[in-house]
Chain A
Amino acid sequence: MKFLAKIVRQSRESWVGSLRLRMTAISVGLSLVAVAAIGSFLSYTIEQNLFESRRNEVISETQSVSDTVQSQFDGAIDAENAIDIETANSNAQATIRATTNSPGLIGFAILRAPDQTTDQVMTSSSSVGFPVTVVSDSLRQAIHDDRTNVYYQSVEVPGGSPGIVTGANIDVPIAGRYDLVLVYDLADVEANLAFVQSALIAGELFFVAITGLIVWLVTTRSIQPIITTAAMAERFAAGNLDERIDVEGTDVSAKLAISFNRMAESISAQINRLATLSTLQQQFVSDVSHELRTPLTTIKLAGSMLFKQRNTFDKDSARAAELLHRQIETFEQLLTELIELSRYDAGAAKLELEPISPAVLAQSCIDEMTPLAGSQGSTITLYAPGGHKPVELDSRRVRRILHNFLSNALDHGEGEPIEVWVNSTSTAVSFAVRDHGVGMSADDAERVFDRFWRADPSRQRQSGGTGLGLAIALGYAKLHGGTIDVWSEPQHGACFRLTIPLGGAVDPVSPLDLPPIAEDTYA
């Protein structure tokens, strides 16, 4: 059943998919109908003609034979008005044999008509092998009713071929009325007809095939520009921006080619412009990065040294050193994140994939955050129902995302336990971080990925934060082809879930619920 369904689907697809196939099938179908109608008509007419001419031939032969035999019998009466019946009979039979020349005669008989009383009786006689069974009463009755004409009936002769039986009245002097019956086999007519019909059918099929071929060629020829353009558009979409169509002639297909080329020209110009911009931006980010980091290195080291020696300063200078030290840290983090984000925006960020176990990766991120969690009285627990087998990930970037989730969970988690979840299927791997802290309103949850947006500006931030963390996390998730989903309820905490497709899956179902629900079996 499945196999059948597959075939049906495939043929439906090629039916819908190929204009040529459709056109050809329709024209073949229509010409089949037309040819069948014409063929049937021709065949019928020919059949009628063949049989009719043969019947006429047979009838006229019977007529002439019966006339001859009749006159022979009439002439057999001698001067005493007597007749040698049996001699006349055998003479008549010889005459019949001599005068019939139509092909297919398989036998004849001179049968005594029933119910008559005469002075003499001539014995009914027939040729050897005469098929008595084909002579029906109705034929004999008809001969009896009209004694001047020849009667015929279509019959099936022994052997199964169509045949014709003719009969005519003979009045034998003194011996009374007799039926002259002739049986013809029409097998040769039937063979002729079969030959004509098969020739007809072969011709018809040939005609249909030629029609199909012609339509196929014509369609191919006329949709060739469309096929060319479609293939070109496909290659263009795949990134070959230099693809152009050769323009020939001035007809509508040339116009199509010209329009397509013009469109391709303008798109590739636009793309080149954007690519140049992007390259410029990447270069700029790179330069800014280098130019800012170099002095910042000095500033940072110098600031640290001042900070270390602050105890030897007067009160104001010591405070200044402290402020300097702390703000340099913030400034550095901001710079790092801005550069990361710019690299992503400029399309310069590239994945560095390596096989790594998601659960191991999550555990290592948790270990990293455990000291900070401990200082806030939070515990971080890993639940990994799956995700132990290594998968291809950019571990640095996934770590960065998890680090961000965990930092947020610690910042807003109110010291409640934090859960980290990992699970994977064949199509996706998912990480989720769940806290049970203050949570967010739905409006806030929608804005968390906005740059420099902070849930609550008045809140003390424990692990720092520039307001760019989630924007970067989302960028990294997208770099993997993945997504980040957020769940939150005020006073019930929040859950951030990263889902990364595996093996080229598109929009896979996340292996984790949002938020994941702890079951004892997972723990």
Chain B
Amino acid sequence: MSARILIVDDDPSIGEVLDMFLRSEGYDTRVATSGPQALEFFEEYQPHLVLLDLNLPGIDGISVCRSIREHAGTPIIMLTARTDPQDIIHGLEAGADDYVEKPFNEQILSARIKACMRRPPSASTSSLRVGDILIDLRGHVVSRDGVPISLTPLEFELLHTLASRPTEVFSREALLEQVWGYQYKADTRLVNVHVQRLRSKVEHDVDDPKIVLTVRGVGYRAGEIIAA
């Protein structure tokens, strides 16, 4: 069974050409042209990934993104015409995993989709610890004192990457490469926003992080393991 992609764009020709392209790449697709329709199709179609234009009639893309994130970690890639750089930040903060700028290159889009949908290879160890957090790699569950914390696959991957090499400091570029699958992509805001989102879920105090530490001018690293 091929992976399902929900395409959301108010411009029918973009929807159509994306539909054509993704089908030719072997995906199963559905096109929504408005916000309400996007949410309706999301429920009904249960996509593996959403391509989401931010500029939508009815409910805007940011709200759609937030609604999906309320109950699903499905990867979301924003399609943005970049009228305002702030849009990208807002989109990422609303829960989008990644973004591509219109007009995008079809190879780049294809690579981004693959990166978002890939699942991490089965781990050699069954669990990792960071701070007072337990990462169950087999069950894909993160918990503190036995209480599960809900993370999106991307956030899980980000935490996993940091925790897998606890002594290493990851530059934003390295994280972009390892978590997002980018090569030489320079938008480090992607990392910053997702680290903030991850912290808001796993840290006791976001202003004094213990799980994901900032190494000023270099990047991020995992916090010390605290015995439970």
Q: Which residue numbers of A lie inside 8 Å of B, CB to CB?
A: 286-287, 289-290, 293-302, 304-305, 332, 352, 354-357, 360, 364, 367-368, 389-390, 395-396, 399
Q: Would you list 5 pairs from A and B whose C-beta atoms are within 8 A, ordered by A residue?
A: A297-B103, A332-B103, A355-B217, A389-B217, A396-B186
Contact with A along B179-222 (1 / 0, CB 8 A): 00000101111001000000000000000000000001110000
* A-B Cβ contacts below 8 A, count: 80
B67: min CB distance to chain A, Å: 24
Interface of chain B residues 65 through 109 with chain A (CB within 8 A): 79, 81-85, 101-106
Q: Which of B16-24, B35-43, B155-163 contacts A (4 or more CB under 8 A)?
A: B16-24
Of the candidates A297, A300, A305, A368, the one having the most CB atoms from chain B within 10 angstroms of its own CB is A297
- Given contact pairs A332-B103, A356-B217, A364 touches B81 in the complex (Cβ within 8 A): no
Q: How far is the CA of A302 from the CA of B84 in the complex (A)?
A: 26
B14 close to chain A: CB less than 8 A: yes
B166: min CB distance to chain A, Å: 22
- Cross-chain contact B20 with A390 (CB below 8 angstroms): no
Q: How far is the CA of A390 from the CA of B83 in the complex (A)?
A: 31
- Cross-chain contact B106 with A368 (CB below 8 angstroms): no
- Cross-chain contact B82 with A298 (CB below 8 angstroms): no
Q: How far is the CA of A310 from the CA of B21 in the complex (A)?
A: 15
State which of B14, B24, B218 has its C-beta within 8 Å of the C-beta of A357.
Answer: B218
B79: min CB distance to chain A, Å: 8
- Cross-chain contact B81 with A293 (CB below 8 angstroms): yes
- Cross-chain contact A293 with B17 (CB below 8 angstroms): no
Q: Which residue numbers of B lie inside 8 Å of A, CB to CB?
A: 11, 13-14, 16-18, 20-21, 24, 55, 79, 81-85, 101-106, 171, 173, 184, 186-189, 192, 216-218
- Cross-chain contact A354 with B188 (CB below 8 angstroms): yes
Q: How far is the CA of A396 from the CA of B184 in the complex (A)?
A: 12
State which of B21, B103, B189, B216 has its C-beta within 8 Å of the C-beta of A305.
Answer: B21
State which of B55, B102, B186, B189 has its C-beta within 8 Å of the C-beta of A296.
Answer: B102
- Given contact pairs A296-B102, A297-B103, A286 touches B217 in the complex (Cβ within 8 A): no
B104: min CB distance to chain A, Å: 7
Q: How far is the CA of A302 from the CA of B11 in the complex (A)?
A: 14
Of the candidates B16, B24, B217, the one having the most CB atoms from chain A within 10 angstroms of its own CB is B217
- Cross-chain contact B217 with A390 (CB below 8 angstroms): yes
Write out the residue numbers on chain A whose beta carbons fall within 8 Å of the beta carbon of B14: 294, 297-298, 301
- Cross-chain contact A295 with B13 (CB below 8 angstroms): yes
B127: min CB distance to chain A, Å: 33
Write out the residue numbers on chain B whose beta carbons fall within 8 Å of the beta carbon of A301: 14, 17-18, 20-21, 103, 106
- Cross-chain contact A304 with B102 (CB below 8 angstroms): no
- Given contact pairs A396-B186, A399-B186, A290 touches B83 in the complex (Cβ within 8 A): yes
